[in-house]
Structure 1
Amino acid sequence: MRTIPLTPEIRNTLVGSFVVIVGALLLFYSSRGSVGNIVGGYHLKAIYQNVDGVSVGTNVMLTGIKVGEVTKLDYVPDGHRVSLTMRIDENIKLPIDSVAMIISSGMLGGKFIKLEPGGELEQLGEGDQFQYVQDAVIFEELLEKIVLDAEARRMEKMKNSAEQTIKPKSSPFGSLLK
């Protein structure tokens, strides 16, 4: 058996070929979607005022497990709302009073749709719309509210402190301010 000497050129060609093949395989599998993609299933709709951070492909979760994904987002001019369509695994049955909430997976994390099952016996079917939804919380607005509340409390403390300082009975100068 004759062996081919492993010159630097041959080695570089083999390594390059290996990298190209692995890259092509990764590209192929990523274009097919993740392992948990929902292929069949049924479609449900939800109308939101704000879908900040949600896009086509966003996960739909039930008790921490992916059960679907967002397939379509449409602007609804009436009331300036957004119609969100999601595909749900056909094995998942949801009561008609279930809630579809847009949840953040952390301060800097992405968003997902969290489903909270209701208690009714009647179930949602193909093309049905959620009666109950919760819009996305925008962290910038939440932080702004927290800062403004803290500032208001600080100003109230300063006002109370100033009132205590210049109380008429607390100092001889207080009676002059009356």
Structure 2
Amino acid sequence: MAQEKVYPSAGHHDKDPGAMAHGFVEMKEMDAFRNLLIEYLMYKGHRFVTDQNHETNTQYQSRIKPIKGDVVLDMHLNAASPSATGCEVFISNNAGQTSKDFAKELVDGCSCIMGIANRGVKTESQSNRGKLGILNKPGTAALIEFCFITNMSDMQAFHSKRMELVQFVGDLLIKYDQNK
């Protein structure tokens, strides 16, 4: 039997909680989302490996062993001025077609569900960091910035559509994990 897996991660950890605004903490928001996503994947009977809150990004990346056909998704909330809005997805500078297709479906679907701007698919070199190691693992890989934690309307959309987003993202992970 095939050993397909998806690798959803909350993107931050106990020692690096990520962005904070309006009483929201990125790590807590993504932790809650990841946990709902894991419940959904278990309900669907799909295999997954995820990060742990005590692990640094380096520790998580060293532990996971995705292979061709697996799907890696790192989940985040963006931060900027209070007027910045939208959903965007990053892929490796050397992303294959499957990663590009996955990222496009992900950003199109999530921005539509939340009714916020679609900021598109961008390469890791277009990110603030320039290089995102998680995107260079084998298989299909993407990093999503669901919305801006600094924009109250974005966060309201994210919270009000959370379960729809969980189902959409879960189904998309499973869909792209079927590439055998």
TM bracket (short chain): under 0.3
Normalization by structure 2: what TM-score? 0.22
Query: Highest CA radius of gyration, 1 or 2?
Result: 1
By relative contact order (CA 8 Å, sep 6+), the higher-ranking structure is 2
- Larger proportion of helix: 2
